[in-house]
């Protein structure tokens, strides 16, 4: 009884939060008082329930974990997730000497990244080498989301690290990577969090190792790279064009790292951007395994609400974050460590839960928006639009109809359909032994799936009624649904909508310009990415 009451109270709260935070008019969500009543009660004391807008950010943080496109869209990450790099993983390090790296330094997961560092944009002088290493015991890491290794500008990509460390704000963007890495390693270790390093993203994912002579990693190869002195027909770099001692990277007056834009886009650049293509979406950087039992996100934290984040997610900054928020973030991280010290292959993969919703619903939402837009513009008839939208939603409608609707075809309980749909796609039936961090994630996913299912099941019901001519349909409904679905798609801001719409040809790359190869500013994708050949990229160097 007490559990039920707590759940009802939370439902009411969620409904109020949706109403207050959502610009759309999700009438059915607002009137459904029992919407979360069967959901497991939340441990309210452990986190405050995120609002709808916060839930969309949390949902995306989970959905985009270790995926390039989503992190480029929200480059100022707010989320830290413990995980590990499994044994057998091969790692690379590019350098301008033969000696193996020591102490704090970086591994790349892609050799193309290391090649860039030793031999293309990096130190193309000295005695370039790429060393290859292999993980022999799991490396414990913390993944910092966003474009967390893009040291380019004052956009805010280093905010979460600077804020966590309590560095002076005007130094957050400084190119002081060794010092920053060192402070990160020390802060975690001093608080009992035993880790080997951090995973971050720029053009691909990298592994910041607290100590490169870590016995969990064995060096297995060390290759000298012969960089051509002559510019070949393939447009390879010319070594002599680099002044000795000067790197391709330079710094601006703030000490920020810049990329000299003068050089032509070459095959090495192409190999590099091609190597990160596999991490754009789907599996993401699958050489890292995350443990969502310890996912700590600033979104929804009590103290984060004073920040007043703007609607544009790429403008979320932590410059005004309070000391209380920093302490909350830190204590949650040390708590997350305790939940993730043992390996549990049977933990819930929350990213997969979000995938179930996104990959099923994103194409349907886009078609609803498009179809209702055409109806409104008069380029498609009511008959045709309702037939198409009824068709693409019919399986969902039939799956979520109840016994009463089956027995009586004039009965339509859309609220109950939304409820069944949302629970299914949020995997929200059982109370497994989840951590408070997972409770927060589950709550956010449930709120987002309720909003998505609501628009879709209402459209399905409308289309079905028009087609069967059973039941009353208001003439204003299509334009209301069109407004709802448009608002929703914009609020969801799913990376699905800006990813390449098809697999590129063999001589093309699904191009996502990212620091450092893509120029000084991190590029924030807002339109679907395009397949580009190297010739295309040569022409548009400096994007
Ligand atoms: C790195 O690890 C090696 C071997 O375990 C150790 O000798 C060295 O002192 C460590 N370096 C730092 C900076 O902790
Ligand atoms: C969510 O929306 C509320 C109300 O519009 C706003 O005050 C708050 O800053 C927003 N929070 C985030 C994280 O965007
Ligand atoms: C969001 O902010 C980014 C970075 O300031 C900007 O480039 C982009 O145009 C903004 N998007 C919208 C829709 O305003
Ligand atoms: C709707 O379209 C179908 C064929 O696509 C047609 O058979 C039917 O008569 C149309 N209904 C109306 C009301 O126009
Ligand atoms: C079928 O449902 C409709 C709408 O809920 C209701 O008005 C009608 O009485 C029901 N018919 C039967 C036979 O139960
Ligand atoms: C259904 O249609 C009737 C008659 O046209 C109308 O009086 C009633 O308000 C409609 N009901 C709804 C829910 O739109
Ligand atoms: C969605 O993401 C894009 C970047 O892809 C950004 O420009 C836009 O402002 C975001 N929209 C919202 C509502 O956050």
Reading the chain (543 residues) residue by residue, the pLDDT tens digits are 333 334 434 443 443 344 333 333 333 333 333 334 444 444 444 678 999 999 999 999 999 999 999 999 999 999 999 999 999 999 999 988 899 999 999 999 999 999 888 877 644 557 889 999 999 999 999 999 999 998 866 789 999 999 999 999 998 988 788 999 999 999 999 999 999 999 999 989 999 999 999 999 999 999 998 865 544 434 444 444 443 333 445 544 444 444 444 467 788 889 999 999 989 878 899 999 999 999 999 999 999 999 999 999 999 999 999 999 999 999 999 999 999 998 888 899 999 999 999 999 999 999 999 999 999 999 999 999 999 999 999 999 999 999 988 888 788 899 999 999 999 999 998 878 899 999 999 999 999 999 999 999 999 999 999 999 887 888 999 999 999 999 999 999 999 999 998 999 999 999 998 887 766 667 889 899 999 999 998 887 644
**101 & 139 share domain:** yes
CA of 526 to the centre of ligand 3 (A): 9
Q: Is residue 537 part of a domain?
A: no
Nearest ligand 6 atom to the CA of 474 is 14
CA of 542 to the centre of ligand 7 (A): 23
**117 & 212 share domain:** yes
Would you call 79 helix, strand, or coil by DSSP?
strand
Question: What's the pLDDT at 492?
Answer: 98
**386 & 434 share domain:** yes
Question: What's the pLDDT at 230?
Answer: 47
Q: Is residue 328 part of a domain?
A: yes
**438 & 358 share domain:** yes
The CB of 493 under 6 Å from ligand 7? The reply is: yes
Question: What's the pLDDT at 375?
Answer: 97
The CB of 103 under 6 Å from ligand 1? The reply is: yes
Q: Cα separation of 309 and 115, whole Å?
A: 39
The residue segments making up the domain with residue 442 are 2-60+348-498
Which ligand has the minimum distance to the alpha carbon of residue 382? Answer: 4
**217 & 87 share domain:** yes
**404 & 460 share domain:** yes
CA of 413 to the centre of ligand 5 (A): 12
Nearest ligand 1 atom to the CA of 212 is 1
The CB of 262 under 6 Å from ligand 6? The reply is: no
Q: Is residue 538 part of a domain?
A: no
**276 & 318 share domain:** yes
Q: Cα separation of 155 and 523, whole Å?
A: 11
Distances, alpha carbon 259 to alpha carbons 153, 279, 497, 541, in Å: 12, 23, 29, 12
Q: Cα separation of 481 and 370, whole Å?
A: 11
**192 & 136 share domain:** yes
Question: What's the pLDDT at 264?
Answer: 72
Q: Is residue 26 part of a domain?
A: yes
**356 & 445 share domain:** yes
**197 & 310 share domain:** yes
Q: Cα separation of 463 and 443, whole Å?
A: 30
The CB of 314 under 6 Å from ligand 3? The reply is: yes
Q: Is residue 512 part of a domain?
A: no
CA of 279 to the centre of ligand 6 (A): 52
Give the closest residue to 14 by CA, choosing from 156, 195, 26, 471: 26
The CB of 315 under 6 Å from ligand 3? The reply is: yes
Rounded to whole angstroms, the maximal C-alpha distance in the chain is 82
The CB of 213 under 6 Å from ligand 1? The reply is: yes
This prediction's pTM: 0.88
Nearest ligand 3 atom to the CA of 313 is 1
List all residues whose CB is within 6 A of at least one atom of ligand 2. 20-21, 51, 53-54, 299, 308-309
**352 & 485 share domain:** yes
Which of 102, 104, 178, 213 best tests ligand 1's pocket when mutated (most atoms within 8 Å of CB)?
213
**30 & 91 share domain:** no
Whether 93 and 111 have beta carbons less than 8 Å apart is answered as: no
Q: Is residue 66 part of a domain?
A: no
Q: Is residue 72 part of a domain?
A: no
Total domains in the chain come to 2
Which of 404, 407, 409, 410 best tests ligand 5's pocket when mutated (most atoms within 8 Å of CB)?
410
Nearest ligand 7 atom to the CA of 314 is 6
Distances, alpha carbon 104 to alpha carbons 166, 180, 194, in Å: 20, 10, 15
Q: Which of 339, 362, 396 corresponds to the end of one domain?
A: 339
Question: What's the pLDDT at 413?
Answer: 93
Q: Is residue 262 part of a domain?
A: yes
């Amino acid at each position: 009884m007490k559990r039920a009451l707590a759940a009802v109270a939370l439902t009411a709260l969620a409904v109020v939060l949706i109403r207050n935070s959502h610009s759309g008019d999700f009438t059915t969500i607002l009137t459904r008082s029992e919407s979360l009543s069967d959901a497991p009660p939340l441990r309210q004391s452990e986190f405050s329930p995120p609002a709808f807008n916060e839930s969309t950010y949390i949902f995306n943080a989970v959905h985009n974990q270790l995926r390039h496109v989503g992190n480029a869209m929200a480059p100022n990450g707010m989320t830290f997730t413990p995980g590990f790099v499994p044994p057998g993983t091969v790692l690379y390090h590019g350098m301008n000497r033969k000696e193996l790296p020591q102490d704090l330094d970086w591994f790349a997961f892609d050799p193309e990244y290391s090649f860039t560092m030793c031999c293309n944009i990096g130190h193309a002088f000295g005695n370039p080498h790429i060393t290859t290493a292999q993980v022999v015991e799991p490396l414990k890491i913390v993944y910092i989301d966003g474009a967390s290794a893009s040291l380019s500008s004052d956009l805010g990509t280093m905010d979460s690290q600077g804020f966590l460390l309590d560095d002076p704000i005007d130094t957050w963007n400084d190119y002081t990577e060794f010092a920053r890495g060192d402070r990160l390693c020390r802060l975690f270790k001093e608080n009992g969090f035993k880790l080997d390093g951090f995973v971050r993203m720029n053009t691909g994912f990298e592994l910041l190792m607290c100590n490169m002579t870590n016995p969990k990693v064995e060096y297995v190869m060390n290759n000298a790279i012969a960089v051509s002195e002559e510019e070949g027909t393939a447009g390879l770099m010319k070594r002599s064009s680099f002044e000795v001692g000067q790197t391709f990277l330079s710094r601006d007056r703030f000490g920020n790292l810049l990329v000299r834009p003068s050089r032509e886009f070459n095959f090495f650049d192409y190999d590099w951007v091609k190597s990160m293509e596999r991490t754009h979406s789907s599996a993401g950087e699958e050489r890292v395994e995350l443990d969502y039992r310890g996912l700590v996100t600033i979104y929804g934290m009590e103290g984060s609400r004073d920040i007043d984040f703007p609607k544009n997610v790429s403008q979320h900054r932590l410059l005004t974050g309070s000391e209380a928020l920093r302490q909350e973030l830190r204590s949650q991280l040390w708590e997350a460590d305790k939940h993730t010290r043992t390996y549990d292959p049977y933990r819930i993969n929350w990213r997969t839960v979000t995938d179930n919703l996104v990959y099923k619903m994103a194409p349907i939402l886009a078609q609803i928006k498009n179809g209702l837009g055409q109806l409104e513009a008069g380029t498609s008839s009511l008959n045709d639009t309702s037939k198409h939208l009824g068709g693409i939603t019919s399986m969902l409608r039939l799956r979520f109809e109840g016994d009463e609707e089956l027995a009586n075809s004039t009965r339509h309980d859309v609220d109950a359909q939304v409820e069944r749909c949302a629970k299914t796609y949020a995997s929200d039936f059982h109370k497994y032994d989840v951590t408070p961090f997972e409770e927060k994630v589950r709550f956010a996913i449930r709120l987002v799936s309720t909003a998505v299912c609501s628009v879709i099941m209402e459209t399905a019901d409308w289309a079905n009624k028009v087609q069967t001519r059973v039941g009353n349909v208001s003439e204003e409904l299509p334009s209301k649904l069109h407004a709802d679905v448009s608002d929703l798609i914009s609020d969801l801001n799913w990376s699905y909508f800006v990813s390449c719409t098809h697999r590129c040809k063999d001589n093309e790359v699904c191009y996502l310009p990212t620091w450092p190869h893509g120029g000084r500013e991190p590029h924030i994708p807002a339109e679907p990415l395009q397949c580009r050949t190297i010739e295309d990229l040569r022409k548009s160097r400096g994007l």
